[in-house]
Amino acid sequence: MNTSKLTQPWPMNPVLFKPMKVAFLLSQVNVVTTGFIKEQIRIANSFADVEIISLNDDVHDFEGMPVHSIPFKQALPTSVSNVLLWPVRRIGLMNYYRDSRFGKQLKAVIESINADVLHVQFGQHADVLFTHIPDFSCPTIVQFRGRDASSRVIARPAYRRHLVDILNRPNVFTASVCDALIHHLKKQGVPVKCHSVLHTPIDTEFFSPKRPVSPAHGTKRLVQIGSFREKKGQLQLLKLFEAYSKEHPDAWQLHLYGEGETKEKCREFVKSKGLTNQVQFHSWLDRNQVKEVLNEADAFVHLAITPPNGDMEGIPNAIAEAMSMELPVITTDHSGIPELITSHDEGRIIEIDPAAFKETLNELRERGRMPKARARVCEAFSLEQHKAALQALYRQTLDRNA
């Protein structure tokens, strides 16, 4: 898809007859983990004038789009000055991140942009916005992507109450990467009256299979790409892989790519079980490297779980990228994943069980590519699909506000 500026961007502002202006509010744009947000911003920039408000970046430009950096630091429970006050802040008796100076800067920047629509990435950033500008009335979209609609809602009563107020405002429209997160919000007592699903956009032209067919015999390559966090399920995967490797030591080699809080624990497990020849750890990958790794892989795995704190995925875009490359995917019935994989020809949704894992790996050794997996992503997760959904959402938000 060509995401360059159109000569006559759509939608047009119905009152002023000028291209729509959209402002994105987010934490950071220029980090490796925000590829899915960058893609959405690029798509919006293909039909609207876009400016970005960042709460952490120190940059002033992203691919020709202005970035307004406003440093914001939330009071943390571990800081010495907040140890005693954190319990009352957590339940909402005292706001744990109101900063009057920051609020004035944020208001001044938003007024200077004068956007038709403000698109807020993640629920916690909407909390920051309306805490500091309580009377904010611009048409606003609050998009949920995972933890902001799951563990954060469970752990922070004050945040949950704020969402109830925010999502009931007449100028606010709710979006999510999957229906499952909307259902979870409602289950936790956060009513969502108007919402839209914005599936994470996948560049299916870029993520297209160009790899040679691997030999029928020999060691196959199983990969997972993503941050090392409890909900990503790497430790559960390693336990299943250990049991499988005892019976089939040369059938598969597992490669894990990324960084994060649980990586060291996973390394220790691999070392303690003598799996260093069968399991390899790698660091973060850029976009081109991700494609190269997927090209060389024989299958992709992502055994997402819901840990005790309730943290949930939306729909992991790494799974969709692997499917776009026609890779067989092994995953779990978690959050929005069944909204992506809807049939046996699109991927394998299994229980975290040694017998199920063994059966699936043995089957996929003979499977080869899965073209219907790519067809599914092209149908519902392409850049073109996301552009149409984004345009419709902006129009709905303006209509509702009017």
Q: What's the pLDDT at 237?
A: 98
Owning domain of residue 108 = 21-201+382-401
Provide mean pLDDT across the span 81-104.
62
Same domain for 149 and 233?
Answer: no
* Contacts of residue 117, Cβ cutoff 8 Å, sequence gap at least 6: 20, 21, 22, 23, 138, 139, 140, 141, 394, 397, 398
Q: pLDDT tens, 374-394?
A: 999 999 999 999 999 999 999
Same domain for 365 and 388?
Answer: no
If one compares 32 and 183, the residue with the highest pLDDT of the two is 183
Which pair of structure tokens corresponds to residue 113? Answer: 């942009």
| Contact yes or no for 118/112 (Cβ under 8 A) | no
117: part of which helix (H) or strand (E)? Answer: strand 117-121
Same domain for 153 and 247?
Answer: no
Q: Model confidence at 99, in pLDDT bands (50, 70, 90)?
A: confident
Q: pLDDT tens, 272-307?
A: 999 999 999 999 999 999 999 999 999 999 999 999
Tokens 């040694």, residue? 354
Same domain for 45 and 64?
Answer: yes
Q: How many domains does the chain have?
A: 2
166 pLDDT higher than 90? yes
Query: What's the CATH code of the domain at 320?
Result: 3.40.50.2000
Q: What's the pLDDT at 103?
A: 92
Over pLDDT 90: what percentage of the chain?
A: 79
Same domain for 46 and 192?
Answer: yes
Q: pLDDT tens, 220-251?
A: 999 999 999 999 999 999 999 999 999 999 99
Same domain for 161 and 291?
Answer: no
Same domain for 96 and 224?
Answer: no
Same domain for 186 and 249?
Answer: no
Q: What's the pLDDT at 351?
A: 98
* Contacts of residue 247, Cβ cutoff 8 Å, sequence gap at least 6: 358
Same domain for 260 and 183?
Answer: no
Same domain for 88 and 123?
Answer: yes
81 pLDDT higher than 70? no
Any domain includes 113:
yes
Q: What's the pLDDT at 30?
A: 82
